[in-house]
Amino acid sequence: MKNSVRLRNVLLAAAAAAAVALFGCNSSDSNDDETKFVNESSASVNVTPGTGETFVAFSLAPGESKKVKREGDEIDFTFTSSQKVADVVMPTEVIFTDPINL
């Protein structure tokens, strides 16, 4: 009798651990709908939302970063700066850098 109770408790604990492993990874802190803008350039950058985006236009000084909510799978935006800046766009991050002169 004690062995069957112990076995049942072990099986329940294993099932609970499996449920946490499968479903516990989806944290409510997940930011799958955010894009981070990072300014690694030596110039300030002004970012303006594109069509369908709801974030407010903002500026990034050199070394600054900011996260905004993205409305679709890819962020739609335009940018201007006081000097030439290159941009690298990824689904969850946009990096502004000084251009490489070859």
Count of the separate structural domains present in the chain: 1
Average pLDDT, whole number, for the chain?
77
Question: CA-to-CA distance for 75 and 12, rounded, in angstroms?
Answer: 44
In b/e form, how buried is each residue of 27-46, taking b as 16+ CB within 10 angstroms? eeeeeeeebebbbbbebbbe
Range of the domain at 41: 34-97
Look at residue 47 and tell me if it is in a domain. yes
Domain-embedded: residue 83: yes
* Residue-level pLDDT at 3: 53
User: At 91, is the pLDDT very low, low, confident or very high (cuts 50, 70, 90)?
Assistant: confident
Let me know if residue 9 belongs to a domain.
no
Please write the tens of the pLDDT for every residue from 48-83.
999 999 999 999 999 999 999 998 888 899 999 988
* 75 lies in some domain: yes
81 domain residue, yes or no: yes
Tell me which amino acid residue 98 is: D
pLDDT score recorded for residue 82: 85
Residue at 92 is within a domain: yes
Q: Is 59 domain-assigned?
A: yes
**Tokens of residue 81, six digits:** 């700066």
Does any domain span residue 13? no
Strands of the sheet containing 93-97, edge to edge, are: 65-69, 34-39, 93-97, 86-89
pLDDT attached to residue 25: 42
Q: Measured in Å, how far apart are the chain's first and last C-alpha atoms?
A: 79
